[in-house]
Structure 1
Amino acid sequence: MAVKTRIKYFDTLKFLAISGVIFLHCFILKKNIEIFHFNIVNLNQLGRFGVPLFLLISGALLLNREIELKSFFKKRFIRICYPLFFFIIIAYVFNIYRHPLTSFWYCWMVLGAYLAIPIINIFVKYGSDKEIEYFLGMFLITAILYQIFNLFNIEYSLDLNFFITPISYLVLGYYLSTKEFNSSSNQIILISFIIFIVSTILKMMYGNFFDIYPKMNLSSTLDLGILQILQVSSVFLLVKNIYSESVSGLFSVVKGFLETNIINNFIVSVSRASYGMYLVHMLFLRQYIRPFFKTLNFNSTNMVIACFITFVGLFLVSWIITVILGKIPYINKISGYA
């Protein structure tokens, strides 16, 4: 059996994506505590790129491929559904969620996106670069237009919702993974870092897509606003170019650190465990951590420290449990460890 070749920057992106998801969940545990003139909850915006980043990665890995429907759905749905149903049963047996079947919204959203991949794949595979850029251009324009309409309370009947769906993130991920820019890797890293900082600060100030567009009937909490698009794209491009062969200076030092055996092995392990970590940490959050945080009465500084310690602890516990489950025969198929 051929050994699967891993692409290092995808593993690092998955590492950051699950880190972002767990981080934002830890920083929404305690509301109405002010720090730096912001509610402490606003700090969760530092990790809001997590779920969109998973979609970008999926688009980069799955689009522009030869897809045979039966094998594609068998492989993808088994990988998603077996662990999902296992954790739904756990949540039901231990009464962790009031509605266990619908509590893991991210998993259901991914399943919906996977259903569209064979169709979108045809567009990506046979469409020209200009056609793909047209679609992504409409994605950006729609996010900007709707934001302007709502900021200035403009009545509108223009329905462009087709362009702001999880599918758009899939196409964006493929495009960013294949697009070659004229700028050097160092320049792209620096620009991406600046965009990440600016977009994150603005998100802390103005909130998420579903806060900006209150008139829209959104069925999920996926952020498809222009600030989120910029934030997650900057993370993707920053990591992709860190691993570039042409990177130099301080960024080459960072690359060297990421490629050391210990760090690289840890990143790969977390990458493989990322889906299981999502499922495990959701149960711990609901059953233990949220009730505990309701009892805390810290000041702002101590609460930030408590949230950060919780993030590190929950990250490590979720990773360890998923890795252990992934090594047990039969259980490994429902562990979420790939």
Structure 2
Amino acid sequence: MSINGRNEKFVWADKLRVAATIGVITVHASASIPPLFGQVSPGTWWSAHIIDCIARFCVPVFVMLSGALLLRKPSRPAEFFRKRFLRIVFPFLFWSLTYSVLQLTLKTSRLWEMSALEYLTFFLGQLSGDRISYHFWYVYMIMGLYLLIPFIGGLIRRAKDSSLLSFTGVWFSLVFWIDITDPGFKIPDMLRYLGYLPLGYYLGKIDMNRIHRIVPLGLTVLGVMITVIGTFWLSDHSSKFNALLYGYANPSILLFSVGVFMLFKSLNGHPSDKAGLFINRYSYGIYLVHVLVLSQIKLPWLNEYPLIGIPLTVFICLIVSGAVIFLINKFPGGKYVSG
């Protein structure tokens, strides 16, 4: 998730990664309230719903950043695997083990009843089934995409811009059609978000000086409004929360995410301040640990005052998560496993 380069040409990418990191924490901090449609006060629901919608550019932007930064130059599979893939695998395994052990020790006493072999078998079963923590789905997805990048990179770089846009349009149309028709099978996450790679590559190389700033701003506002109003309409129509438009691959989130990506790219300027540089550097580790931190933040009035509770929760979680990753990095070998 983090590609740390100090090239001033990509200052926009650093800032965008910071925004996406904060965005994903915001989505998870607010996630418990929107499903309570009709069960909480309208003010509470709308506040959390709007905050959640505004943050939903996070996952698409992370994937588009990978496309923009990793598809620019050819890379041999072995070199890419060593320099990029393993950098996300080792921290993932470390934090998967951490989550697994804490779950067994804090929620049950099963860990102490297991032999080393029994626990290893249990842990490998959790890993193979993505059953350790709900946010690890992203890591499985991005690892799959990373394995594809050395092989599809050449095709994407040689493709015409019109072909890239056509492929992206057809891809996401197909994904959304499957979502709304529910044919009885689920699209693997890696395939669901594959279209964001060539889209990110395309957006990463276009000259934003030739595009009026009203375009990305318009896409952003339009995408957010469709998601906010559309989700309410669908939920009100069915008398229960409908999360169809919350999906990261649906058209409104696609428009929104493209708008945010272009907006940050058009605002490329001075490097981030110290806080931004810190979040950018440790963004992957913050992503991995933040759910563990969120689970320990108990604000009793979060559901009553989400306009205050959600931002405060996000702020506390970001500070604590960053501190945890920073401290682990200070230990010998810590930088290889913290993220």
TM tier relative to shorter chain: 0.7 to 0.9
From 16, 20, 40, the equivalent of 1:33 is 40
CA distance in 2, matches of 1:162, 1:17: 19
- Which amino acid in 1 is paired with 2:40? I
Pair 1:178-2:215 in alignment: no
Provide the aligned length of Structure 1 versus Structure 2: 297
After TM superposition, list the pairs within 5 Å mapping 1:241-260 onto structure 2.
241-243=266-268, 259=270
The one of the two structures with greater contact order (alpha-carbon pairs below 8 A, sep at least 6) is: 2
Pair 1:71-2:103 in alignment: no
State the 1:143 CA deviation: 5.1
- Which amino acid in 1 is paired with 2:15? T
Q: 1:171 to 1:34 in 2, by over 3 A?
A: farther
From 85, 88, 93, the equivalent of 2:96 is 88
CA distance in 2, matches of 1:126, 1:66: 11
From 4, 7, 20, the equivalent of 1:5 is 7
Show CA shifts across 1:237-274 (max 9, x none).
Answer: 1100112xxxxxxxxxxx5xxx3x7x433222211111
- Which amino acid in 2 is paired with 1:315? L
What's the TM-score, normalizing by structure 2?
0.76
CA distance in 2, matches of 1:270, 1:298: 25
- Which amino acid in 2 is paired with 1:170? L
Residue 83 of structure 1 contacts residue 276 of structure 1 at CA under 8 Å; is this kept in 2?
yes
- Which amino acid in 2 is paired with 1:285? L
Q: 1:204 to 1:122 in 2, by over 3 A?
A: same
State the 1:277 CA deviation: 0.3
Residue 77 of structure 2 contacts residue 151 of structure 2 at CA under 8 Å; is this kept in 1?
no
Q: 1:312 to 1:203 in 2, by over 3 A?
A: farther
- Which amino acid in 2 is paired with 1:195? L
Which residue number corresponds to residue 195 of structure 1?
222
State the 1:141 CA deviation: 3.5
State the 1:134 CA deviation: 2.0
- Which amino acid in 2 is paired with 1:191? G
Q: What is the root-mean-square deviation of aligned Cα atoms in Å? A: 3.3
After TM superposition, list the pairs within 5 Å mapping 1:144-293 onto structure 2.
145=177, 150=181, 165-180=192-207, 184-202=211-229, 204-205=231-232, 206=234, 211-212=243-244, 223-243=248-268, 259=270, 263-286=272-295, 288-289=296-297, 292=298
State the 1:80 CA deviation: 0.6
Q: 1:204 to 1:126 in 2, by over 3 A?
A: same
Which residue number corresponds to residue 59 of structure 1?
67
From 308, 326, 329, the equivalent of 2:329 is 326
State the 1:176 CA deviation: 1.0
State the 1:91 CA deviation: 1.2
Query: Which structure 1 residue ranges, 5 or more long, are not aligned?
Result: 214-220, 244-254
State the 1:37 CA deviation: 7.8
State the 1:19 CA deviation: 0.6
